[in-house]
Every structure is written in C-alpha cells, then in structure tokens.
Structure 1
Amino acid sequence: MSSRRRAYPQPQYAVEASAPAAVPPAVGGNQYQQPGSGLGVPPPNSLDPTTSQFQNLNISGTNTAVNSPYSNQGGQFGQYQQPTSPQASQFGHSQYQQPQQPQQAPGVGVGGGNGYYNQSNNLGTSLPLNQLYTTDLSRELPPPITDLSLPPPPIVLPPNTTLIPNSETSNASPDYFRSTLNVIPNSSSLLKKSKLPLALVVKPYNALTVEAENVAVTSDTTISRCRRCRGYINPFITLAENGRRWRCNFCNLLNDIPSAFEYDEISGQVKNKFDRVELNNAVVEFIAPKEYMARTPQPIVYTFIIDVSVNADQSGLIGTITRTILESLDRIPNTNKTAKVAFIGVDSSLHYFRFNEGFEGVESLIVSDIEEPFLPSPDGLLVNLDENRVAIEKFLLDFPTYFEGTGNQGFALGPALKAAHKLISNIGGKLVCFSSTLPSVGEGKLSIRDESGVAGKPKEAKALLSSADSFYKSFAVQCNSSQVTVDLFLTSSAYQDVATLSNLPRYTAGQTHFYPAWTSAKYEDVTKLSKEVSDHLSQDIAMEAVLRVRGSTGFRMSSFYGNFFNRSSDLCSFPTFPRDQSYCIEISIEENVTKPVVYFQAAVLHSTSFGERRIRVLNLALPTSSKLVDIYASADQLAITNFYTHKAIERALSTSLPEAREFLTSKVVEILSLYKKELVAGNVSGASPLQLSTNLRMLPLLLFSLTKHLGFRAERVPSDHRAAALNNLGSIPIKQLVKSIYPTVYALHNMPDECGLPERLIQVNEETGEEEEVVSTNILLPEPVNDSKSTWENYGLYLIDDSSELFLWVSGNVVPGLVQDLFGTDNLYAIPTGKTELPEFSIEESEFNYRVRQIIGKIRDQNDSIVWKNLYVVVGGSSNEPIEVSQQRDLMALRMWAYSCLVEDKSGSEPSYRDFLTSLKSKVAQ
C-alpha cells in the first residue's frame, strides 16, 4: 500500500520550562512530533509500589488469578495483570489480584447442591475473593484514565456454583447486567456502614437489531418457573431426586423438571436436559406459550406527528423529515408485512391524511376545532405499510408542498397527541413527534418561562426544570396503559420547554432527542437528524413489554430509575422497549444473608417485531461477605457512578442544583472517610486522607466531573439544554454515560502509525498449520489522554468525544504540513471551523487525512446507539491570530464549549480536579 509522506518544517516557539526533556523520535515515528518539546504524553503514574501502602487486607493465599471471563487474561491492561507479589505490580494496577481457589468444594454432588451452603455463617472465610490494594489519590496525578475502559472487578464464585461445570456463559456479562458491588454485604447494617450503594444496572439489549446480538433462544415453548417466587430456571439451580426435580436458587423450593426437558414430543427423540440453552446461558430468550399472551402480538405501528407551522417550513424540517421517512420505509421492521403507519400534520389545526386503498391518491382532512377535536373515521388513516406502499411514497414526496409558504404560527401538540392516541390506542405502537415550535394552541399550551431572574440561583430547578403543565405526565401515563410510546424530536432555535415535554417519553419508555438551532441549510444538521431518525425507525423494538427484577430471599428492589412507568411496586411497564437505554434498580437488604452466593434475575416479557411473545431473562450470581475489605475490593466504580448520577438528578429536580452538586461531593467524602477510618492499614495517625481502594480510584474523578456536566454545572445554562442533558444522563447506558461525564480525548499529531488503519492479526492456517497475517475490519484508535490542557502540546491536534459531539482541536502553533495533509491547505485560518466535515482524500493523496477520517468513522460507528456525532473543528489561539472582531464571539464560544470537556481543569468558578482533591483533604480529616 503506497502512501505519501513528507517532512514538515517546524515552527519556532519558546518551550515552557516545565516541558519534558527532548526525546529523539523513534525510527518510523510520527512525522508530526514537535522536536525539542517532548513526547506530549502525560508522565507515568507517580505511584511507587515500593513506598505506597499496598496492603493485602483480604485473606491469605497464593497470588494466582482466577480464570474469569471478565478479567483481562492477556494482560494488556496492567490493572488486571496478576503479579506474584504486590511489590511486583507497577503503578498500583493489581487490585484485582486473586488467590488460588480450591479445585473442588466439599460436599458437591449432582443431587446435593452446593456444599458451601452447609458451611458456617462466617462468610468472610468460606471463599477467597478479590484482594484489596490501596491508592493515594493525591499521588496519582494526572489520574490513570485507562481504568475507565476496563471491565468491573471479577466475580469470584465457588467451584460448581453452576449446574454445568466450568460454564463460561452462566453469569451475565456486565454489558447486560451488572451490580455496583460484586461482593454483596451479608447484612443491611454492613451495607450502610460501607457507604457504598447496592444497585443493579440492567441493559437487556445490546444492539439496535436482533441480527447484531448473539442471544440463545429456546427451541420450544417449555418454560419452567419456580412455583413460589416465579423465578425462571437458570444455570445456577441444583438438581435433586436423581435429576427429577430442581431446587430454586432464589427461594430454595423444589420444583418438577418438565418432561419436555428430556423428551421431544414432536420428533419422539430423547433429549439431554443439560444441553438446554436456559441451563447453559446467563442471557436467554424463552419463546412464550399462549398463557403469556393477554392478546395476540400486535403489529408495529408508527404514527408520525409532524409540525407544519411556519417555523417548521422555514427551517426545512418538513421536507427533511418526510424525505427521511421515505428513505427509511425499507428499514422499518416488517418481516410479517403487518407494519402500519399514519400521518398527522399539526399547526393551529390538525391535518389528517386518508389513503384510499388501491389508489395512489390521498385525501386531506382538516380539523380546526382543537378544543374538542374529533377523529375522522379511522378507515384509511392508519394503513398497512406494505399494501399502501406506492401511495405512501407519493404522499411523502408531495407532503412538503402542502404547507409551502404557510404563515400559520400555531402548534396544537396536545390535541394532536390525543387524536393520535385515539387512532392507535386499541393496538398500541409509537407516536413519533417532530417539532420546531413551542406548543401554543389547545390543551397542553405552554409559554416561555422567565429564565433571567432564576438562572444560576438555588430556585432554578424548581422554576425552570419542573413540568409547567400536568397534562403531559397524565397523558403519558394514559399512553402507557394503552401500550403507546411517545418519542420526541425537538429542533427549534427558540425555547421549547424540554423540561415539560420530556415527561411524554419518560413515562412511556421513549426518548427526547434535542437538536437546538437545527436548520436544513446546514448539511451537517440534516445528516445528524436524518441518520438518527432512520436508525430509530429501524430498531427491532420489543412491544407490550414489562420488566421485573428478582433477587434471592431477603432482597427487595426498592427504587427504579429510567424511562418507563412503575405499574406496581416492582413491575416496570414499557409500551415499546428501546434497545439503546439502560435502567438502574436500587436494592434493599431486609434479612441477614446466610449463604455465600446470592442471585438476581431480570426478565423482560415482550412481543417481538416479527410477532412472537418472548421472555428475555438475564441472570447474575454474586458472592457475599461479612468483611468491608471484600466489598471494597470488588466495587464497580462505573456502576456506582451510574447510580449516583440517577440520585443526583433526583436531588436536583426535587430540591436544587447546588444541593445535587453537594450531594455528589458528600458521597466522595463519606467513602474516603470510611476508608480512612476502617480500611487504611493500621489506621496510621497522619495517614493521607485521600487513600482509596485502587478499583475505586476513578470514582472521585467521575463524581467531580459530573458536577461540571451541562446538566449540573453552576454557571448559567439555557434551561432547554440543561433539561435535555439531565434527561440524557438518566437514560443512556454506562459506556456512553462515562464518556458524557469524562470525555475521551485522543492526541492525533503523535499517534502511532498503525492507528486509523485496520488491525492486523496473526492466525494459524488450519490447513497448512502456518501463521499468516489477517487484516481485520477493526480500526485501531489511539490511547486516550487526560482531560486537561496541561497534557496538551501547543502544536497538537486533538479529537474530543463527549458521547454526543466530536471536537477536533487544531492548536494555534500546529505544523503547517499537518494542516495541509488534513485540510488541503497550509493556511490554518483558511480551514472551515465550527460544525463541518473533513475533506476526503484517498490514502494515496494523504494517508494522515485518511487515518483521521477512519478514526472518526470508527467512533461514530455504534451498533447500540442511534446517536450520530457531529464534528466541530476548533482552531486554538496564537499570538498572531488574524481574527476579525466580528468573528471573535463565535470563535470564543466554540473554544469555550470545547474547553468545557477538559473537566480536570479549572473552569470559571469551578475548581480543577487537583483543587478538588485538596479541598477533600480538610473535609475527610475532620
């Protein structure tokens, strides 16, 4: 593969005194490396294992790693390497070091269950768990952010905990089901003492489509459940009476094994029950029999409510949306050819469109009385997509012309929602609303709130983030009971009251998508909206779904967080179940735990888009302990961050934003204080107050960064933006959540030469037995750097990913040759800035441009999210910056937006992470 490489003359500038010493570039190194200025890489972790307080606070045992599917066996992540001693661990990365487990538990037999159940209640000595190591946060600056990409601490279970020995698929992957604590306290008093939360994070689906997932499905409709607790049979049950009965791992009740487990009535063949997928897999789908159906699975229904007022016409929303829907018709899940669609245009009137079956013509019906709007005869309004395809396509092509040049400024969203609900309430489905106007007519009419008097003050949340009209929540609850989901796509350049409107998706399991100042005149705006709407319509949604989470005896699911409606104390209702959201469930311990392992199970009963009733079941087994050291050594810092994010949102909306920020800080103080008091070795007087278990060392950084997030930050933020940010934080999965809180920054100017190119793997040819190189489809990304300007070079090129946007920061003293290769010009100030795209050069024309675009494409390629990340090019300042006065405001605003992603730095009145740690010292020492 040929490529063009060039040598780049370097600009002259003064090197700061604190810059690292010059390091000669390696052969074949990056051509954009600035000579004489160091490598631009943050210094290694300053933690010295020979002097830091690495303490084995757990039980004794050999330092051999347990083979866990969730730990990094290859060792490329230093955190999971298992050294022979703490002193052999570099930079404190051995906190998940585990002693050797015994080969066989006493008393284990096919019919006898797990021998550990017969041991004493001294749980801390029955099972060797993860060992605890201590880190001093003040000595780890900059913080080691590679931890943010690591899996949670391994789950260590006794041997033969599963029915099928050595099964690697019996416990759920953390991508689906994870706990804040991978060792469960054996009492509520111990949990309270630990100052750590106990909660589950559930994400039942990990891809937008069925084809992209590899979930085991049962071969028949035989479902075995416990007669008492109604838990589903799973890999952690035990057999009794020579395999004729199974003992429930949740409530200990004996249940009969169904005859179908060992005999196929259709084929007449004997079956091995141990081959059944539900006994081998933690995540499985049961095909439900008719007993699980309140009615026959319904078809997918989409009712499109489209703003056709003057704002929508002038912004180009009408044309963009109808064209996007037209181009997405083939992507709508419609395997059985039963999908139905309807369209309602909304200004100050309601515009219905009736399709005459067998004809291409469409009849328009206008209802002007929106105080008591009537629904015309539903015949022809809600139609089969496949049978009316020609007419629908013609209608979507013509739709923008119906309202071209309109002067109608009204928007009767409330009446339109009620009419659409009447249209599909007997079936259920989705109401997909596209709006560029504040609802101003009829029920649900809203007005602009006065932000100037309360913004930045304690009463801001009450005044601006609470619902302004009870209609939207009460209507959403009504929709939920009718199996109707509402999704919003909001595109106004003016106020839209996102705080009020977001109640519609929140209680119907939908989502609020916010596109401030959207316009079809901007290609990038059209691309983002079109891609996200198209991917939204193509999801294999589950319909008429309910979620229930069960636990072992003594555990209660006490609080639920996410977009759904609690139909009863523990049943979450989803008219349609989205595939790109996650949910958090807080757990209370109501009885002392006497067993070494406890179990949790999440079940989603739903109808598929292809007409089957199914139950997706997820299983999680976790060890228990009576020791704080075990609990801290296995705490999951990312899941804990997820939980505290939900609690902070709840606190902000019920009290105030300052109290929410104080809540996050107080949780860090509580955890550090407890750790210093109970777990620092010997409780040495004068020991650093900032010591914490190494597997939790990113938690203070994440909670600190969360206080700077758009949803919580102290400075003035438009209420629509803040409400949208809080709504997003409360529904996105952990992977996107962490990136939203602590953006990922890549240094592109000095990335290794293989980055941006397909990964090359060595594999053995099965026929010849020889090794050969294989080029994969995976694009290699650079290693992230810290979110701090102090780690940046003033000639660097940096890509920032905050989970919703991408910023390409071009420093003011960047090498001209780099600008030429990337943008096609050597004039830094001639490149397009703001929301834009990079020019496309072939790899022969510019390898660097090709590699950067590949990296951006890799980051944008998400099979579990519909979000399309816009790219903003930001040019940093320099001493001779030729910027006109008229450009200063926009340029500075763009720079400040990008700078806000550097959450480790001081910003406005908000401290830096270093200052935050300093303030913690005095609070923890008290």
Structure 2
Amino acid sequence: MEPRTPLSPIPQPPHSAGLAFKGLRAAIDPQSIPSPIDAIEADREQWNDQPYGTLPGGHVPLSTTDYVAIDQGNSSPKYMRVSTWNVPSTSTLAANCAIPLVAMVQPFADLDPREEPIPLVDTGDIGPARCASCRGYINPWCKFVQGGMRWKCNLCSHETEVAPEYFCNLDANMTRLDHLQRPELNKGTVDFAVPEAYWAPHASESFKPLYESVLPPPTTKTRKPEPMSYVFTLDVSLEAVQSGFTACACSALLDMLFGQPGVNEDTPGVPPCFPAGCRVAIITYDRTIQFYDLSPRVAETPRMLVVPDLEDVFVPLRDGLFVNPQESQAVITNLLNSLGQPGGHPLETEAALGSALIASLASLAGLGGQVVLFASIFPTIGYGALRTVLDESTLFGTDKERTLFAPRDEAWRDLAERCAQEGVGVSMFLGMSRPIDVASIGIVSSLSGGDMFFHPRFDPNRDGLALHSQLQRLISRTTGYSCVMRVRCSQGLRITEHHGNFYQDHRTADLALGTLDADKAVSVSFEHTAHLDDAGFAFLQSAVLYTSTDGQRRVRVCNLGLQVASLAGNVFRYADMDTVVCHMLRDAISKLPHQRIAKTQEQLTDKCTATLLGYRKHCAAAAPPSQLIIPEAFRALPLYTLAIMKTKPLKGRNVTADVRNYHAHKLRGMSVRATMQHLYPQLMALHDLTPQIALPEEATGQIRLPSLMRDSYIFMDSFGLYLIDNEDMMVLWIGSDASPQLIKDLFDVDDFMNIDARMLQLPQLPTLLSTQVRNIIAHRHAQRGWTPKLLIARRNMDAAEIEFSDMLVEDQNNAAMSYLDYLCFVHKQINNDLTGGAPTRQVGLKSAPW
C-alpha cells in the first residue's frame, strides 16, 4: 500500500523553528528529491521471502530490514557491518573516495527466531586455537598446511603448530576431515568455552583506596567465573519518595524478580525474567548508605545496617548480602513493599549518589556483575559531591560550551574506570525533577558499558509502564560481564580508533567493559598501512572475552572476509551508508567535549560533501558541474547528515545539558538499526489501512506493516491519523479534520475534542482499525524489546505535537534547514569545488538532476 500524497500540504506549526537557505534556488518538487523510503521498502521486499547468505560478493540487507541470515563463514551483518564491503586497495583510493573505513560491531545482537543459534565450541583445557604471532583466533578463513600439522593465520600469515589434541588429517582439497563437525572452521560467529587461563583477573591494587574491603586478599591472580550478581541501589530521599519514583522502582523490581499473577483466565500473569542462578543484593541511600541482610533465615523484615561515613565506605556484611531471590522471596517482597512509602521515619532532602555507587562497587569486589541504580537528586554530599548547578544559558554558543559535556569532578571518571576494571557495569534510571548533571554522573554508565534511562519530572502514571519494560529488557537481554574486547585486522590495515560506551586503556588496544549487552555496538575505524592485493581478501576479527549470565567464561568471535577493490566505482557500489552514518554520528558526539556544536555541524556537512564529491570526481567526471550526481548507495546521505544535526545532542536550539548528555550516551552505544530508525523515524498513515494490513497471516502468524511515509508535513493530510516512532518514543498524531468514524473506531469517543491526550495505551476495541493499530504498536514493541512512551498529539492542541514536529526531519525545524534547502546547500558546495569557487548565482537547478 502506497501512502497518498495530499494536494494541499499541512502548514508547519508555528512552534517549529529552523533556518532557510541563503541565496537563490530554483523551485523543486519535494517529491523528486532522493528519499530513503524507496530503498528501505525495496530492501524489505527483496529479503522478505529469501534468506541472506553471508559469503562475500553480494549486496547486504539494510540494517532496518528484518531478514534471516545464513552463516557461511562470514559473520552476519547483525554482528558486524562495514562502511564498504569492497575495501579500497590503497590509502590513496580510500582518500579519493572519502568513505571512512569503519566497522560496526554488535557481538551479542538478537537473532531472528528462524536463525540458528551461535554454536558453542569447547576444546577442553587446551583452549581455542590461536595464532602464535598476532593471537587471532582460528576461523573459516585460515588454511591448514603441512598435512594438518600447522595452520596459517589469515590475519598475519604466520604458521602456528596444531596442538596434538586438535590435530586431524587433511583430504585431497587440503581440508580437515572433521571440517563439518568443527563450527569454528565453517561459521563466522562462534562462542569458545575457555579454560582457567582466560578467567577475569582481580583488579589492580591501585584501585582499592575507594572503599575499605572486608574480604581477605585473593590467593590467585584470577577469579572463578560465577553467575552474575546484581546490586539494586535505590534512592530513598524525600524527593524520590514523594514523586513516586522509589515506589515505582520497587514495584518494577518485584515484577521482574517474581512476576505478576494473572487476574483471570483472560488476563494471564507475567512470568519473572530474573536469570536463574543469579544472586541479588539491595542497597538504599540518602544521607547514609543502608545495607540489608536478605538471607531467608532472618525474620520477614530484613535487618538493616547503616553506614554513615560517606568518605570511608565499607560493606558491613557478607553473609546475607547476596541471596537467591526465590529462596528469600518473602524477605525481599516485604522490603520492597516498605521502601518508597512515605511515613515511618523522617525523609532526608539529600542523597549521596557517588558514595552509594562506591558501596555498590565494594559489594561486587572480587565478583564482577551489574549495578542497577535509581537516582532522582543532584549529588551534593558524599563522594564526587557537586556544589552548584551550572547556569547553562550563559555557556551555549560560547567557547565554554564544551564544558557542559565533561564531568565537573574527575572523581566520577575515576569511579567509572574502577567499575570497568572490576568487571562491573552500572546502569542508571534517572527520575529527577531538577537538573542532575548527567555529564558527571553519566560517565559511570558510559565507561562501564552500562545503560541509562531518563525520566525527567517523573510521574508514575505516565512513566511507570516504560520504566517497568525498560527494567525487564535490561535484565532479560543477552548480557556478559567482566568483558574485554579487541578487534584485529589483516596485514595492510590497522585499527586507529574506537567509539562507544567502554573504557580503553591507551597502553593497550583492549576495550574494558563491565557489561556488554545485546543492544550495544562499538564502532572501529581502520586505515591502510600497505597496499592490499585486489585478488585477495581483507579480514576483520572481533573477539569479546566475557562471563555469561549463567557463569560460563567464553569468547565470542566474529569474523569478516572482505573483497578488495582497485576501482572507485566498486568501492561506492558496495558501500554501506548505514555504517557510514553511524560513524559520522558517533564521531560528532565524541567531539562535543572538545569544540563548539556549530563547528561540529560544519564538519558534518564537509564530510557529507567530501563523500559525494569523491564519487563525482572519480566515477562521474564527465557530467557537467551544475548536475548533482549522487551514488546509489549514498542517495540519502545528505538527509541523514541533516538528521544528525537535528538530534538532541547536536541541534542548535536551546536544549538542556542533561538532555543533550543523555541522548549522547544513548546514541554513542546504539545498534546500527536503532540509530538509523532514530535519525529518520518511521512514519505510517493509519487512516487508510487496507484489510490485509497488520493482521496475522494464517500460514506464518506474521503481520505486514503499512508502507512508510516521508518525514514531512508536506506529505500529510489534515484528516489523517499518523504514527511516528523514533525508537525512544511513539507519537500518534490526529488531524483536526479526522473522520468521526475513525475516531470512534480507535478511541471510542465521538469527537476530536473528547480524545484523552493523556492516555498511555489505546483502548482495546472490537473494531478492525483498533486491532490493526494495536498490532502495529505491539509489533514495534516486540522488535525493540521494550515499551516506549506513547504520546497523543491532536493537531494544534497538544504539547506532544512539538515532539512530533521535531521528528519530521525533512522539514525546516530544530534550528536547521529543511531537507530540500540542505540538499541545495550541499550541491552548492560541490559545485563551488568543481568550478573553483563559482558564485552562487551560477548554480542552476533547472530540473531534478538526481
């Protein structure tokens, strides 16, 4: 179903503000300019009914497409994507093309249910076979020589002796006879079970002064892997309790730990999602730190131990601190039901957030694991105390603007590095009513590999559902702890930089992550050190050493073999815009603490222009300078570049520093798919759905979503209903001229004015439209794994329309140009370069040149 283009577009709301193109430009039909929708829809249609084989040589599905990958020796693009699947053979060719050489690595990405699980390879005490020179892991691209006695590394060409326990004879094709029984020799992505030599080391002595340890010194250099331990750290200050944030967090914890019983047969209960075998501890904090003895032997009311010294934090108990939640269900339930309830004792107005984090870290010392922190107050006491809130209005647009994106006290960075070194990931739920300095406290999550969830002006009725689902996703997704990650490349290439949420010791190439989960990705840049043979392949290998949730020490290895190209046309033909856009976004965010936003925006435009100019010069040099020629792989690059400048961390309009830093944290660690859907949100028309849309198919049970629309008011009707989703929230926009029957079918009210704009979920009605729309929303929830906030925006009436308008990135908003104006601006820059600085009036766009 194709969305209909209206004859008379809706004018932009007066609250949208943007910049106009300066200079003359011809009138161009907005429908004629390149759009990502055509490519997205065509790619989905192509891979809807056929699997994708991972052997090199073909085009790769877009990150926004649901597809089934068959591992043929290369990792699925869900695990590794590169900016071009034909690597330039020389650094000169790479510079001419101006395509950054980047790989996006998401080692624990969720699989499609129809795909084979990742094989687990256990080679016993000898461990996985590794190159004696570069320490790369054996993989399908390696070759066995000397009758199988040695194997040749595809990364460095070194020949390593095969261990006697791993030896097998070769056939006439120089292939091992047990090739098909060895997943590591025919699968691009595998898990290796590893022996004691790979166990996580104890933290360096230099990291001990933060807290007083009650544990005896370790007798070994490494610690035995165990099921993950969780510490839930709750803010019980006055503001957290009065806002309902603490009570909502306790309710979500109870549901996650023990599930919800069913109301009746029609409403089944919700099962618990806490991993079996894992242990849990609960800490609360205000002006003191409170620990709880949760052992089942105590009374139903747990014993509380208070640590008042915020500067010299220690753990006052060990037995009973961590427990199996099923064995201590009554104790934990009584504790969580009592927390967050006003009354009983006076509530403090301050909370020692930094000291609470140290207490959580001290509890996990020698274990590793995950801290889930709930905070709602600006930390004014204890470790890392911040005295005053900065006046942001005087800093934006000045050279001091960059100070808003860095911790104000280096103590927070030190704490973050210690968490990463201890193998502890810190995830934060922030439910504050005033600024909390995300730039300072958020670095603990960023460097430890944790997550962050942002609920300003927390309202249990509005935010409770999202908080519940976010916590369930946090606990139930694939997660490893005590992680060390390294990406290796073959001869002629070298790794130059990394972007993501991790801690990197600059003395090594390893990335340390307290936790790494299914939703996180790391970007890796590489460059040439020598000429590559275009008759051969270039190789990348990512290895993550981690402890699984159930306590197994493993290495997740992802391998990629890439073709080498000596022609610019082939480099562009197999380029991957999704990876390039993600790299541009992360690179721009990494510069926020070092330079002004305006300069970063200029550099983004320069990079976009350089890539298109590289294609223009080396693949389409014969075309006249006035004609804008865009390669097929980068048809929407100007639009996505503009969308990057309209994201909350980088846009020019007034945005609070907390909001900018929160979104910077999220975007720096997002998967490729989530990033692309955040930059160009999915917009769907709901008022003209055909009866076949969004209803389960009898054979497969899958639903077909409506076609996407371009993100602009130009393509909307005043009588329409539209749903937009940017991976962070969903907004349902209702036109002022919408049919009363549509409103009745979807909301069960008779009039546009009677729609409850504060509703959090659509009512369950027996109408076809209600079923279809709820199926679409449920499908999007299942794809992302959690339930975001749903906002209702009636045209020219509700405040949520501001969020809706800001997501329409093709329009003139967010203190930036419209897509049409920006495309003309980019074309002007390219034309000036080709003509040696021709004046603007000579740039003619008489027809759609693309």
**Residue 749 (structure 2) aligns with:** 825
Q: Distance in 1 between matches of 2:409 and 2:57?
A: 56
Cα separation, partners in 2 of 1:835 and 1:663, compared to 1, 3 Å: farther
Q: From 246, 250, 254, give the equivalent of 1:326.
A: 254
Residues 166-205 of structure 1: CA distance to partner in whole angstroms, max 9, x if unpaired? x952111111111111111112222222211001100001
**Residue 793 (structure 2) aligns with:** 874
The DSSP-based 3-state class of the residue aligned with 1:453 is helix
Residues 406-459 of structure 1: CA distance to partner in whole angstroms, max 9, x if unpaired? 441001111212222222212122221101111121221124534453364144
Q: Distance in 2 between matches of 1:17 and 1:306?
A: 53
Q: Distance in 2 between matches of 1:788 and 1:310?
A: 44
The answer to whether the aligner puts 1:445 opposite 2:445 as a matched pair is no
Amino acid at match of 2:408: A
Q: Distance in 2 between matches of 1:813 and 1:249?
A: 64
Q: From 517, 521, 526, give the equivalent of 1:587.
A: 526
The DSSP-based 3-state class of the residue aligned with 1:895 is helix
Q: Distance in 2 between matches of 1:403 and 1:481?
A: 40
**Residue 556 (structure 1) aligns with:** 494
Q: Distance in 1 between matches of 2:549 and 2:612?
A: 48
Q: From 624, 635, 640, give the equivalent of 1:702.
A: 640
Residues 121-154 of structure 1: CA distance to partner in whole angstroms, max 9, x if unpaired? xxxxxx99889xxxxxxxxxxxxxx9774599x9
Amino acid at match of 2:787: W
Offset, 1:683: 2.5
Offset, 1:318: 1.7
Residues 193-219 of structure 1: CA distance to partner in whole angstroms, max 9, x if unpaired? 221100110000123999997111225
**Residue 227 (structure 1) aligns with:** 132
Amino acid at match of 1:329: L
Cα separation, partners in 2 of 1:230 and 1:356, compared to 1, 3 Å: closer
Give yes or no for contact 1:804–1:868 (8 Å, CA) kept in 2: no
The DSSP-based 3-state class of the residue aligned with 2:107 is coil
Offset, 1:647: 0.8
Q: Distance in 1 between matches of 2:391 and 2:116?
A: 45
Give yes or no for contact 2:501–2:665 (8 Å, CA) kept in 1: no
Cα separation, partners in 2 of 1:687 and 1:309, compared to 1, 3 Å: same
Q: From 159, 170, 177, give the equivalent of 2:80.
A: 177
The alignment's C-alpha RMSD in Å is: 3.3
The answer to whether the aligner puts 1:576 opposite 2:515 as a matched pair is yes
**Residue 914 (structure 1) aligns with:** 820
Cα separation, partners in 2 of 1:800 and 1:129, compared to 1, 3 Å: closer
Moved more, 451-460 or 175-184: 451-460
Query: In the comparison of the two structures, how many residue pairs are matched?
Result: 757
**Residue 850 (structure 1) aligns with:** 771
Amino acid at match of 2:101: L
Q: From 670, 675, 679, give the equivalent of 2:615.
A: 675
Moved more, 226-235 or 72-81: 72-81
Q: From 191, 194, 198, give the equivalent of 2:94.
A: 191
Give yes or no for contact 1:177–1:618 (8 Å, CA) kept in 2: yes
**Residue 492 (structure 1) aligns with:** 432
Cα separation, partners in 2 of 1:317 and 1:304, compared to 1, 3 Å: same
Cα separation, partners in 2 of 1:502 and 1:633, compared to 1, 3 Å: same
Q: From 240, 253, 257, give the equivalent of 1:312.
A: 240
Give yes or no for contact 2:63–2:672 (8 Å, CA) kept in 1: no
Amino acid at match of 2:456: P
TM-score, with length taken from structure 1: 0.77
Q: From 334, 337, 340, give the equivalent of 1:394.
A: 334
Offset, 1:391: 2.1
Q: Distance in 1 between matches of 2:604 and 2:501?
A: 22
**Residue 246 (structure 1) aligns with:** 151
Offset, 1:74: 9.8
Give yes or no for contact 2:226–2:550 (8 Å, CA) kept in 1: no
Cα separation, partners in 2 of 1:151 and 1:807, compared to 1, 3 Å: closer
Q: From 624, 630, 643, give the equivalent of 1:685.
A: 624
Offset, 1:262: 6.2
Moved more, 380-389 or 493-502: 380-389
Offset, 1:374: 4.2
Give yes or no for contact 1:208–1:539 (8 Å, CA) kept in 2: no
The answer to whether the aligner puts 1:346 opposite 2:274 as a matched pair is no
Q: Distance in 2 between matches of 1:47 and 1:508?
A: 40
Q: From 202, 207, 231, give the equivalent of 2:105.
A: 202
Cα separation, partners in 2 of 1:282 and 1:182, compared to 1, 3 Å: same
**Counterpart mapping for 1:408-419 below 5 A:** 408-419=348-359
Cα separation, partners in 2 of 1:907 and 1:214, compared to 1, 3 Å: same
Q: Distance in 1 between matches of 2:640 and 2:649?
A: 14
Cα separation, partners in 2 of 1:780 and 1:382, compared to 1, 3 Å: same
Q: Distance in 1 between matches of 2:76 and 2:713?
A: 36
**Residue 744 (structure 1) aligns with:** 682
The DSSP-based 3-state class of the residue aligned with 1:622 is strand
Offset, 1:472: 0.7
Q: Distance in 2 between matches of 1:590 and 1:196?
A: 17
**Residue 799 (structure 1) aligns with:** 723
**Residue 645 (structure 1) aligns with:** 585
**Counterpart mapping for 1:752-771 below 5 A:** 752-760=690-698
Offset, 1:914: 0.4
The DSSP-based 3-state class of the residue aligned with 2:551 is coil
Give yes or no for contact 1:185–1:631 (8 Å, CA) kept in 2: yes
**Residue 24 (structure 2) aligns with:** none
The DSSP-based 3-state class of the residue aligned with 1:390 is helix
Q: Distance in 2 between matches of 1:484 and 1:346?
A: 19
Amino acid at match of 1:316: G
Q: Distance in 2 between matches of 1:531 and 1:213?
A: 27
Q: Distance in 1 between matches of 2:586 and 2:716?
A: 33
Q: Distance in 2 between matches of 1:317 and 1:391?
A: 21
Q: From 519, 533, 537, give the equivalent of 2:475.
A: 537
Cα separation, partners in 2 of 1:352 and 1:724, compared to 1, 3 Å: same
Moved more, 459-468 or 173-182: 459-468
The DSSP-based 3-state class of the residue aligned with 2:701 is strand
**Counterpart mapping for 1:43-62 below 5 A:** none
Larger RCO (CA within 8 A; separation ≥ 6): 2
Residues 896-920 of structure 1: CA distance to partner in whole angstroms, max 9, x if unpaired? 2210111101126421110111112
Q: Distance in 1 between matches of 2:440 and 2:120?
A: 40
Q: Distance in 2 between matches of 1:238 and 1:634?
A: 27
Q: Distance in 1 between matches of 2:812 and 2:102?
A: 32
Give yes or no for contact 2:104–2:524 (8 Å, CA) kept in 1: yes
Q: Distance in 1 between matches of 2:111 and 2:230?
A: 17
Larger Rg: 1
Moved more, 798-807 or 287-296: 287-296
The answer to whether the aligner puts 1:422 opposite 2:343 as a matched pair is no
**Residue 362 (structure 1) aligns with:** 302
Give yes or no for contact 1:195–1:670 (8 Å, CA) kept in 2: yes
Question: What is the aligned-residue identity percentage?
Answer: 26
Cα separation, partners in 2 of 1:209 and 1:800, compared to 1, 3 Å: closer
Q: From 289, 296, 309, give the equivalent of 2:224.
A: 296
Amino acid at match of 1:378: R
Q: Distance in 1 between matches of 2:826 and 2:154?
A: 43
Stretches of structure 1 that go unaligned for 5 or more consecutive residues are 1-14, 20-41, 49-69, 82-95, 102-126, 132-145, 156-166, 265-269, 761-773, 878-887
Offset, 1:371: 3.4
**Residue 619 (structure 1) aligns with:** 559
Amino acid at match of 1:184: V
Give yes or no for contact 1:187–1:591 (8 Å, CA) kept in 2: yes
Q: Distance in 1 between matches of 2:42 and 2:668?
A: 33
Give yes or no for contact 1:548–1:571 (8 Å, CA) kept in 2: yes
Moved more, 735-744 or 585-594: 585-594
Give yes or no for contact 1:498–1:723 (8 Å, CA) kept in 2: yes
Offset, 1:363: 1.2
